[in-house]
Amino acid sequence: MPLIINGERIDDALLEQEFSAIKAHFESLGNVSCCERDEEFRGYARDNIVARVLLAQEAERCVAALDDGEIDAAVERLKAEHGGDEQFAAATGFRADQAELLRQNLHTELRMRRMVERLTAGDPEPTDAELQGYYDAHIDVFMTTEEVRASHILKAPRRGEDREGAYQQLREARERLLEGADFLLVARECSDKPQEETDLGFFKRGELMEEFERVAFSMRVGEVSPIFASPFGLHLVKITDRRPAAPRPFEEVRSEVRERLLQERRESRIRELVEQLKARASIEQTPVAAEAQA
């Protein structure tokens, strides 16, 4: 059923695209299965589209149209941010024959930005007390990332028949390590990696292969892992140090705190404006025309 906002008809395809994006986001978080929340997601999609259209309509009403030079500059900036024309096309899906559509979208976006800038222009600068309060209330956002330091023995057999032999070597190596043998000495004797690559230094989640990190971040300092496999071979790991997540000092993140606080203020003002626009808008869901159904 087509959505009509202040006389502007919204194509069903746009609503479906928004619904698909919302559903994909929740699926990526792992908290939705099949179609159980489709009705909820369609509601989110409708709300999002209504808000965007109302803001675009208001920007068109109260912000003067931009000249071609400003739009040209915005197009070039956008392409440069993506690394050039080809990278931009690959990242956004825009084709060369959609240049005018891109310009129209940017024109609308820029007018909306100017409207929001005007909306928040009179907002006072956050005080030190407000910044400190925001930091304290959102301390989980301003934590360092947990890191571990590990030493590593790798066996990388080239042929399938060598895998059992490599596994037995690592079993023997692990027994020696559990009995207190020096890790660097054992690694020098049996690892397929050079000695200088035994100590991996500190690393965060997401920097190494998933199979390796899953084991390393589940271990205590001083612990020797079981033998485990990855696409690179068979591994033994010893955790030698750990840096737990900890709050970053306020002064270190002060500018980040300020930007987050200002962004929340902007979003709050935008939500208020949307509610005001909704209160006086004509928003209707109309049945498909009879001739279109035929």
Contact status, residue 153 vs residue 258, Cβ threshold 8 Å: no
Q: Residue 178: give its domain's CATH number.
A: 3.10.50.40
pTM to 2 decimal places = 0.73
Q: Which of the listed residues 220, 243, 266 is the one where a domain comes to its end? A: 243
Regions of the chain where pLDDT drops below 50 = 289-294
In a domain, 218, yes or no: yes
Quick one: which H or E segment has residue 283?
strand 283-285
**What CATH code is carried by the domain that includes residue 51?**
1.10.4030
Concatenate the DSSP letters of all residues of 161-204 into one string. Answer: GGHHHHHHHHHHHHHHHHTT--HHHHHHHH-SS-GGGSEEEEEE
Residue 262 lies in a domain: no
DSSP codes of every residue in 196-240: GGSEEEEEETTSS-HHHHHHHTTS-TT-BPPPEEETTEEEEEEEE
pLDDT at 292: 46
Give the per-residue pLDDT at 294.
41
Q: Is residue 265 part of a domain?
A: no
Residues 162 and 82 in one domain: no
Q: What is the pLDDT of residues 94-113, one digit of tens each?
A: 887 888 988 999 999 999 99
Q: How many domains does the chain have?
A: 2
The verdict on residue 254 lying in a domain is: no
**188-208 per-position pLDDT tens digit:** 999 999 999 999 999 999 999
pLDDT of residue 53: 96
If one counts every other C-beta atom within 10 angstroms of the C-beta of residue 108, the result is: 17
Cα 172 to Cα 234: distance, rounded to the nearest angstrom: 13
Give percent helix, percent strand, percent coil of the chain, each to the nearest 5. Answer: 60, 15, 25
Tens of pLDDT, residues 31-42: 677 788 899 999
Task: Show the domain range for 26.
Answer: 3-118
Between CA 218 and CA 226, with CA 224 as vertex, the angle to 5 degrees is 75
**Cα separation, 23 vs 39, whole angstroms:** 10
What are the beta bridge partners of residue 155? 234
